[in-house]
Chains A and B, each alone.
Chain A
Amino acid sequence: MRFDLNDSFGYPVLRPDNDDYVGCAIQSSINAVADADLSMVTVSYQISISAPEINKLISENKVELLIYGECRDTWFDIVHYPQTKDGTFSITGNKIDGEFVLTCIVVAKEKIKSYRSIKFNPEYGDAKFDIERGEILAFDNPQSFYITRDTFRNITSLFDYSANVNISVGEWDVSLDNDRIKVEVNPIQLPILRTAEGTNKNKAVLLSGIFLPIVIQIINEMNNNSEEYGDLKWFKVIEQKRVSLQHSIAKNPVRVAQALLKQPLLKLNTTMGWVE
């Protein structure tokens, strides 16, 4: 369930990039990590709220701090009520696939009469507000994580071939503007590529000749243009794979690309009859 972050609530709400309150903030640092086989997702959090009246209401049990998680793709939602402002909780992995959004929110547990804070923007003057049960007093920006089985599949599963009459036979181009990576080729080239995928020998050629240069380009784009591509599925899946690579190669796009493609040269070695 998402609400408009910039909407007026009819009373001051503590939130980022908004001056309903001055000189105080709500900050949440949330992380969601899946274990190796995606059987469990662990959410860790640290929350700080510097509005004294809200903290007082939390300690009086009149309002509650909660973390709301939702996954659009699997129609899953969860409300976690933290006992302290830092901690963890777990979710069964098969309930989540794709974007998982976590939001830290403070909600009234009961009707709060004549609420006011010394941190209200002075424009509110001496105004006091009645807050109903279930209404929001504070929230931080939603934080989004990408948890998907694609992370455990070959990176090439993120690629699609598509026909483009403007590209000559023997040439190819790549488009990164959608959730999946599109390799564009001439319509005559397309069935040749499809047939080639069927044998290990030709797969070695495709991995080194098409996929490797694309992944190198992608790593460069991820380093330099994360704002442009950061919301796309391929970006999130590759990012998740990239964090699990050895630190020593993490800054070298050529080495990162080879690692992500499970060393394409090894495929060539195998087809040449080389045995380790």
Chain B
Amino acid sequence: MKFKLFKNSLVQKLLEKVPENLERYKSGDFSNWLETEYEDEFFEVDVPNIKNIDFEILNNRKGDRVQDDVDVILFFKQLEGITPNLARDPRLWTTFCHMYALPYIRMRNPTVFEQDEDEAVNVIKSRLFITGGGRGFERTNSLARLWWYGYIAKRTDLDFDKAIHALVENTDHRASTIERPTLAICSSYMKAMTEVFIEHKEKDDKFFNSRESYRPMMMSVFEMAGRSFYPALKPLEIKAKIDDQISLHRESKS
């Protein structure tokens, strides 16, 4: 499949024009306008691994409750074939957000236009463009974050759906893994930690529902990483260390 993407110059123009395009972000459409007015400011990238992307699956989602894990599964599975370095290109996500996924982004950010104009502009910049380095991809852009959550879960080589539910559903789990890339880039650690989350979710272990017990346990896991070099250990060995910490912290609470 060929992706027709914005050139960097068009990304910059749109970024500068967010305040004057507010109405279009609220209820209009960008695709026809940009293709007509800025025809020369697109370029094509051939992505042979992707046959088709159905954005309507996301656009038809109902906003009755936040379900990042479901969105990730719906979106990432279609785009699994793109390489991480293409997924690190701001032009890809800025194009997708503006051309194909506006209804989904509006649904996920229902209060954007209830705020004052400056705040609305800031939210649009963070949700439809890539701002703020790595965080912009992994946390704030409405589509990039879905892909990166999916990619990070896939790296664990565990059951994809279980890994996604375990990592994304609980914001504390997300905060202690995906949002701590310095440690979580270590693939053996991520696999071990995700397995722990899956196991305890399946057992419905209340330990993980209590921030009071969960957070000090995670601090101990982070401290251990300062001395043991996790990449040199097997995921099972790291998991055993995490399990030990859970037992220790569970005992100290009882």
Contacts and interface: CB of A to CB of B under 8 A. Distances in A.
Given A97-B84, A157-B8, A72 B228 contact: no
B88 interface: yes
Given A75-B152, A76-B84, A98-B88, A135 B185 contact: no
Given A72-B181, A73-B134, A97-B88, A134 B230 contact: yes
Contacts of A4: 226
A134 B233 contact: yes
Main secondary structure of the interface of B (DSSP, over half): helix
A98 B84 CA distance: 11
A135 B182 CA distance: 18
Interface string A228-248: 000000000000000000000
A204 interface: no
Contacts of A94: 83-86
Contact of B134 (A72, A79, A105, A197): A72
Contact of A3 (B152, B189, B225, B232): B225
A136 B186 contact: no
A1 interface: yes
A77 B84 contact: no
A134 B229 contact: yes
Interface string A62-81: 00101010111111110100
A252 B229 CA distance: 46
A133 B183 CA distance: 19
Contacts, number: 92
Interface string A1-21: 111100101100000000000
Interface residues on chain B, size class: 20 to 34
Interface string A88-106: 0000001111100000010
Interface string A208-241: 0000000000000000000000000000000000
B216 interface: no
Contacts of B182: 1-2, 72
B229 A107 contact: yes
A252 B12 CA distance: 33
A75 B226 contact: no
B6 interface: no
Interface in A87-145: 94-98, 105, 107, 132-136
A149 interface: yes
Nearest to B7: A157
A74 B232 contact: no
Interface in B24-78: 40
Interface string B125-168: 00000000010000000000000100110010000000000000
B226 A198 contact: no
Contacts of A72: 134, 181-182, 185
Contacts of B152: 75
A4 B223 CA distance: 11
Given A1-B186, A1-B225, A160-B12, A95 B84 contact: yes
B119 interface: no
A161 interface: yes
Contact of B237 (A71, A134, A197): A134
A4 B226 CA distance: 7
A75 B155 contact: yes
Interface in B215-249: 225-233, 237
Contacts of B134: 72-73
A136 B229 contact: yes
Interface of B: 8-9, 12-13, 16, 40, 83-86, 88, 134, 148, 151-152, 155, 181-187, 189, 225-233, 237
10 contacts: A1-B225, A4-B226, A70-B186, A72-B181, A72-B185, A73-B85, A75-B185, A77-B187, A79-B231, A133-B237
Interface of A: 1-4, 7, 9-10, 64, 66, 68, 70-77, 79, 94-98, 105, 107, 132-136, 149, 157, 160-161, 163, 190, 194, 197-198
Given A75-B184, A163-B16, 15 more contacts: A1-B231, A7-B226, A64-B232, A72-B181, A74-B84, A75-B155, A77-B185, A79-B232, A95-B85, A107-B232, A134-B229, A134-B233, A135-B228, A157-B8, A161-B12
